[in-house]
Amino acid sequence: MLVAGNWKMNTDVPDGRALAASIAEGLSSASSDLGTVEFLVCPPYVHLPAVTDALADAPVTVGAQDMHAEDEGAYTGDVSAPMLTSIGCDAVILGHSERRKYYDETDADVNAKAQQARAHGLVPIVCVGETLEQRKAGEADTVVQGQVDGALSGVPIDSADELVVAYEPIWAIGTGESAEPEQAQEMHAVIRDDLTERYGTAVADDVPLLYGGSMKPHNAYGLLSQPDIDGGLIGSASLAAESFLGIAEKAGKVLEEARD
């Protein structure tokens, strides 16, 4: 179970450091069993050194929210995979719907970045998800399948810890209206089938499939207890340690019940 925070363009560096420190503090004093829950936070680029430092002793890995597909060059404003690995990043969000919408990122762009992430040992967190119009037209499956295929075509994945896929229905992001657990499960099953065809059962069964879109402490349990939902990619609720850890607690509960 992976609980991942996408801070987007929020907090300044001192506030980001303080948020990371309170997540670390919350985890060290957590009373419930979070032992097998994995944590990741993806702050803005300029926060990465401070956040990595604040989380040095905590069981939380750090990722970026995007990167360029080239190693270096004349790309003003961009950040590359070697830059991210040089400051201890483990993962990178790719193809978030906000990047697709505001920067016209295509599946081909996401694919080039995913290749580059793997070449540098970064775990790509590939985001996919349909619009409300596409869902209403009954196209959600084909849209998401197309995004998964487009992003991962030719990307070598040899083990489950080399990839994360996040299903984020666009209509649920930042709206306070999350998908119903069964609705999300249906889409996660489609993604799992696709990954199975591409990488085989041994890999696909254990690739973490995250749900994202208004996940909060009050709805996390229902979502996380679905068989193909292996965690969350959390936006606004990751901006306060209390709600981020509140979701983690639900993840811990699901894992504990699975063990019993």
Compute the least distance from the CB of residue 238 to ligand PGA, in Å: 7
The reply to whether 168 belongs to the active site is yes
According to CB under 6 A, which one of 213, 220, 229, 245 is a site residue for ligand PGA? 213
Q: Does 170 bind ligand PGA (CB under 6 A)?
A: no
By beta-carbon distance, which residue lies closest to ligand PGA? 235
CB nearer to ligand PGA: pick between 129 and 150: 129
Dihedral over alpha carbons 257, 24, 45, 124 (to 10 degrees): -30
Give the residues across from 166 on adjacent strands. Answer: 127, 210
Q: Does 252 bind ligand PGA (CB under 6 A)?
A: no
How far apart CA 117 and CA 107 sit, in angstroms, is 15
How far apart CA 248 and CA 260 sit, in angstroms, is 19
According to CB under 6 A, which one of 124, 169, 208, 235 is a site residue for ligand PGA? 235
Give the residues across from 212 on adjacent strands. Answer: 233
How far apart CA 90 and CA 248 sit, in angstroms, is 20
Catalytic one of 96, 98, 105, 130: 96
Query: What phi and psi, each to the nearest 5 degrees, are found at residue 124?
Result: -75, 130
Q: Does 243 bind ligand PGA (CB under 6 A)?
A: no
Q: Does 91 bind ligand PGA (CB under 6 A)?
A: no
The reply to whether 96 belongs to the active site is yes
Compute the least distance from the CB of residue 177 to ligand PGA, in Å: 9
State the helix-helix crossing angle for 181-199 and 217-224, rounded to 10 degrees.
50
Q: How many residues does the chain have?
A: 260
Q: Does 223 bind ligand PGA (CB under 6 A)?
A: no
Q: Does 168 bind ligand PGA (CB under 6 A)?
A: yes
- For residues 62 and 51, is the Cβ–Cβ distance under 8 A? yes
Q: Does 65 bind ligand PGA (CB under 6 A)?
A: no
Q: Which residues are the active-site residues?
A: 96, 168
Binding site for ligand PGA (CB under 6 A): 6, 168, 173-174, 212-215, 233-237
